[in-house]
Structure 1
Amino acid sequence: MATSSRRISDEPGFVLHRYDWSESSLILEVFTRHHGRVALVAKGAKRPSSNFRPVLLPLQPLRLAFGGDAEIRTLKGAEWVGGQVMPTGDALLSGYYLNELLLRLLARDDPHPGLFEAYASAVQVLSWEHGEALQPALRAFELLLLREIGLLPALDMQTLALAPLQPEGRYSLVPEGGLVEAAAGDGRASLSGAQWMGLERALRQPAPFGATIREAAAVIAGLKPQLRALLHYHCGVTTLRTRQLMMDLQAL
């Protein structure tokens, strides 16, 4: 999508990552509701007197103004919306994990307003620090991200055979073939046909994030390794950086 030289104002967004650009400025990767992932230069943001300095934090809802017609546009304004606290502990690392997924899988300047709403809802769950809701929220967001960018097949039929699922049958989601019938003794994680169809119905709801959390909560153990393998396959890595950090911290 071509960039626009017009100024964008009052745009909902989140900071995904920030890089040093000079002694006083930053390059930001932000996720916005109407413009997708956008790169911005925040001039002077590292100066102690900068109004940007206390605002440009990850996992916090912002209102942004920016403009320019280059690949990296210029941040003109940023305002904290408020309403939620910064996640801590495992929730903070989980938020960085979501950000890494967006950075790896979303192209710049490709709007995904529905995915933005799911991300905002997931970050809100993380800010509550509800341990029991953390894993279902992550799995729900992974499913919605994969569906939004066309990497998740329909979950109510076998992908290659185009055959309907049997409610009592067992099926595995594999990177190379989509949803396939699970073979006895192959060691792959699987879910029942009824469970996969429940997830598909949730993903098609008008408010899919909440519905998918409820379905995912009942199948976490089987769903997590299948989604992890699919995400690693499409990200081109064996382990995401934030996941490796989580494992390293747990080993201390």
Structure 2
Amino acid sequence: MRTGAVTVVTLDDEHRRNVLGSELRNRLRAVLAELSADPETGAVVLTGAGNCFSAGGDLSSMPPANEAEGAARMSEVAGLVQQLASLNKPVVAAVAGPAAGVAAGLVCVCDVVVVGEGARFLFPFTRLGLVPDGGLVHSLAQRVGPARARRILLEAAPVDARTALAAGLADRVVADPEVLSAAIACAQELAERAPLAVAAVKRGLREASGSLAEALAFERERQPTLFGTADFLEGKQAFHERRTPSFSGC
């Protein structure tokens, strides 16, 4: 679904609570690849069909037949998470109902997380005898801090919407019927920012935020290029003219 410069991507396997089985993972990867190259899409909203973001991994397909199959499965999951995290456009998660397991990993690599009052984040891994997947050991700690992430992942207790907001796992809580509209409004605002700068900020946070030295090296690499863009000149002129800039992505 397209709303202006915002494309809404829906995890749509409602009768199975949008479990992230192989077919849905592959469909999502294909859509993300298309959106990455789509000049008409300025921002993306990721949501789930019905009253559930996603029930996470497909337990009916577990365990894999052997370790090789298990390794292949985890490579697929890693590829999806990396692709979503590295998308060169802002991504807003719209979470209504539960987001479980690997689906919580997808949420954690989104740029902004809007949740409904009835949203719940489920991290059942230690109750199942598994290690957290979907990049959660890293991405959850990035969002809520290492100590809180450790407790959440070890305890495997549900995290409700208000607790998620207080912890930093969610950025905004709204009434359940307003989740998608609030996420689209947020994405529309982000789509108005300079596309090249947005992509650079996302890359910097992803690759160069481990130390001050890495951050400064990243700035030295990227800023000279951005100084020479039409978007910077437009942003500077709009600033002086006190108007909303109109960016072209070049």
Fold in common (TM above 0.5): no
Structure having the larger proportion of residues in strand: 1
Structure having the larger proportion of residues in helix: 2
Q: Identify which of structures 1 and 2 has the higher relative contact order when contacts are C-alpha pairs closer than 8 Å and 6+ apart.
A: 2
- TM-score band w.r.t. shorter chain: under 0.3
